[in-house]
Structure 1
């Protein structure tokens, strides 16, 4: 077959008409996107970009940062205006003003990053899982008095403690010197956190344990060896207290159920209640 005949049999695809561009709609979309981006917030540490609405604590922080930036911009504009006036008198050239961003210290960056993770991630997660929206740390002391005898039973060996077993196993495996090294203690730190009560909860629990057992010398070396009395309180009695507080909060029937909640909420507690504050 000749090439001319083959060409006659070819069927060319029909031309697809291009849709008409709605320039007004495109312009509106671009403007809306730019407007929304102005309200977005980017974390200066992890660079995560977030859109409003923001929880009130985070919004206050963002407003403070914007206020600081506006003040910094006014200062730059004022200095540049003065420089332009001086240069005009001397006939010198001045480059156009390019506004710089105000610097944020590393500590402030960490505070900001922690804030948005707490408010936008951890608190909604805690609400979903039923953790208390607000923990009354001042009430821990009175609450602990109701189960003091249970803690005494742990100390006297009348009630088993998985936390004590774990601590003794570490000392037996590594020896007391290595078990007290910073790296070893840090590896076990989260295991002894009282769940969603966090570091702040640990602090207040230790204050009460100090009054209950340490100041009176009831918790002595003979009862706690190879642990010191303070180590015993931190590694055994703090988490044992956490279990009982969580059991009360959730109205659970046993400590095994509380243990599950405590494990899954330890990250929440270490982030949301990481800082120690004075009791009100």
Structure 2
């Protein structure tokens, strides 16, 4: 697998940043010595240090030392964080070589480019990743800003694709994808828990029910990806006439499962857009 030589920085060391950073290290795409993470509370960065990664409470240190900088703060922190960096920044020739990668929900490229306009020739890429990147099974969509070159996109794609699937999309698609892929793991974790509860109710031990529910979902997902068949076709293949499965599917229909999931994706997509406007 290809590796990166650049210094990778994370401004904000929360769950999404950790999923990306630890994922890159687990896949041996970067070494721990190449990563630097900043956050306001060093205690909250303990899991990074447990991996042997350097941490700091100074965001500007990341901006100054890193070549590829992931912006991983909450959307409402963007304005004060960028203002602080602006006040400390002295333009250098290195600015044009740095690549900025935003994972902020709902925050558009136009806003990001305005906030970081103090960096000359700013190369900003907006992304929407998800937490399964931590185990190399993530999804990331991304859209480049004005000064981003093809070689920058290829480098980012290589990095993110090593953690699952990465795809360039029009920026207008990022919030809708966020409702499916970004928020979707939480929906699926809820489904796994509910299936396990059903197993426990029928007498299956809890740990076994959880393991079987998760493995079943993994297997079903792989069947969709590897066979290329529509989910409805695969479902029909399991539903024998008068059998146990069709009775269960009927209960799902009575509970409006499909409508509920469609609504969940819609609401999450709308909320992602709202967060970017605040």
The TM-score normalised by the length of structure 2 is 0.20
When you count helix as a share of all residues, which structure comes out higher?
1
When you count strand as a share of all residues, which structure comes out higher?
2
The TM-score normalised by the length of structure 1 is 0.20
User: Larger Cα Rg: Structure 1 or Structure 2?
Assistant: 1
